[in-house]
């Protein structure tokens, strides 16, 4: 069955694609994804994919529009090369935060991007920790939303004394995600109640739950500017927490986020490699990266074998 799988990688996260290939013992298909002089994307699949089950591995991370266009053009090239089934594997689905009309005359870009991927010729989508679960319904093709929680839980159990641990959601909206992780490590749950004055800024208000003397683990899907995390860590420590860690799936880390986190009171920020870590992330004193290659590899293998993917999380 493995011989019928083809893995094609865009340029967004080559290291993760190679790690998935190593897990599956399937080399990446020969493909050229490059730019013309005017920065138009050109794709050439350099081996036969007729009748094959093809998985395109591409996060739509920074620069989001370039990587999205790469994904769409790779899918189109595969469709025209008569691939039997094309699965878009998006470890990080960009535009996911634009999942509703936040104000009058604003777009729902997550739905638009879902339409583009479907129209390009994808037969199914595989992604990790969508910002909002309902985005699965934006696609008119089968969509598997995997969870990074098992990878995080394994890391927490290996590195921490769970007797005095508390899982914390950095906002009310992330309670379901935080509770799922708390349940897996049998830890209590606290919530940071914050009020956001304007986009990109956050103000911590108060802590729901007693964190006194606890090792706190902040859990969220995306860290972008890092402001929310740093403010939450300050608030938890001010309320008597012993130390604060953060486990985040997608390290967007725009602008001066890495410097902000490095200078913060966070003991450690643990990210997955759903977005390729920058050099700044690799050398930061309190940022560590864990891999989701085996999680994605296993999901790809089960999809190819027509087996259950959801049982990965039972």
- Tell me if residue 2 is catalytic: no
Q: Could you tell me the maximum CA-CA distance found in the chain, to the nearest angstrom?
A: 61
Q: Residue 3: pLDDT above 60?
A: no
Same domain for 65 and 192, yes or no, is no
The enclosing domain of 284 has a CATH number of 3.40.50.2020
Same domain for 153 and 35, yes or no, is no
Same domain for 153 and 242, yes or no, is yes
Q: Is 305 annotated as a binding residue?
A: no
Residue-wise pLDDT for 171-183, tens only, equals 888 899 999 999 9
Q: Is 311 annotated as a binding residue?
A: no
Same domain for 273 and 302, yes or no, is no
Same domain for 170 and 216, yes or no, is yes
pLDDT of residue 202: 54
Same domain for 33 and 124, yes or no, is yes
Cβ neighbours of residue 52 under 8 Å, at least 6 residues apart?
4, 5, 6, 83, 84
Same domain for 184 and 307, yes or no, is no
pLDDT of residue 97: 93
pLDDT of residue 1: 47
Q: Is 225 annotated as a binding residue?
A: yes
Q: Is 226 annotated as a binding residue?
A: yes
- Among the residue ranges 22-31, 87-96, 186-195, the one predicted with the least confidence is 186-195
Q: Which of 111, 163, 194, 267 is catalytic?
A: 194
Same domain for 224 and 159, yes or no, is yes
Residue-wise pLDDT for 110-152, tens only, equals 999 999 999 999 999 999 999 988 999 999 999 999 999 999 9
State how many domains the chain has: 2
Residue with token string 């920065």: 39
Q: Residue 170: pLDDT above 70?
A: yes
Same domain for 167 and 244, yes or no, is yes
pLDDT of residue 200: 61
Question: Does 269 or 231 have the greater pLDDT score?
Answer: 269
pLDDT of residue 228: 87
Residue-wise pLDDT for 209-242, tens only, equals 999 999 999 999 999 999 889 989 999 999 999 9
Q: Which domain holds residue 239?
A: 149-291
Same domain for 68 and 159, yes or no, is no
- CA geometry: angle 47, 50, 52, nearest 5 deg: 95
Same domain for 90 and 161, yes or no, is no
17 touches 290 (CB < 8 A): no
Q: Is 303 annotated as a binding residue?
A: no
pLDDT of residue 4: 81
pLDDT category at 197 given cuts 50, 70, 90 is: low
Q: Is 228 annotated as a binding residue?
A: yes
Same domain for 179 and 287, yes or no, is yes
Residue-wise pLDDT for 10-31, tens only, equals 999 999 999 999 999 999 999 9
Residue with token string 């001066």: 256
């Amino acid at each position: 069955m493995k011989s019928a799988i083809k893995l094609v990688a865009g340029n967004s996260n080559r290291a993760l694609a190679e790690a998935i290939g190593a897990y599956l013992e399937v080399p990446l298909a020969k493909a050229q994804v490059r730019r013309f002089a005017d920065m138009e994307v050109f794709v050439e699949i350099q081996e036969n994919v007729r009748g094959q089950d093809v998985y395109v591995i591409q996060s739509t991370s920074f620069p989001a529009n370039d990587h999205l266009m790469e994904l769409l053009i790779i899918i189109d090239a595969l469709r025209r090369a008569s691939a039997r089934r094309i699965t878009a594997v998006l470890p990080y689905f960009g535009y996911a935060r634009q999942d509703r009309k936040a104000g009058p005359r604003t777009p729902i870009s997550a739905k638009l991007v879902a339409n583009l991927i479907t129209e390009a010729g994808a037969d199914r989508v595989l992604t990790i920790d969508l910002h909002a679960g309902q985005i699965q319904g934006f696609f008119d093709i089968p969509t598997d939303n995997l969870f990074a929680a098992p990878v995080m839980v394994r890391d927490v159990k290996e590195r921490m004394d769970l007797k005095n641990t508390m899982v914390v959601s950095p906002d009310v909206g992330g309670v379901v995600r935080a509770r799922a992780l708390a349940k897996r490590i049998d830890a209590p749950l606290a919530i940071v109640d914050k009020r956001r004055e304007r986009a990109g800024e956050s103000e911590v208000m108060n802590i729901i739950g007693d964190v006194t003397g606890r090792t706190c683990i902040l859990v969220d899907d995306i860290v972008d500017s890092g402001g929310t995390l740093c403010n939450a860590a300050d608030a938890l420590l001010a309320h008597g927490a012993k130390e604060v860690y953060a486990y985040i799936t997608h390290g967007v880390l725009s602008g001066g986020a890495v410097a902000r986190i490095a200078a913060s009171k966070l003991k450690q920020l643990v990210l997955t490699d759903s977005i390729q870590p920058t050099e700044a992330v690799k050398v930061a004193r309190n940022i560590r990266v864990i891999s989701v290659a085996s999680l994605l590899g296993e999901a790809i293998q089960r999809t190819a074998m027509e087996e259950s993917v959801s049982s990965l999380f039972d």
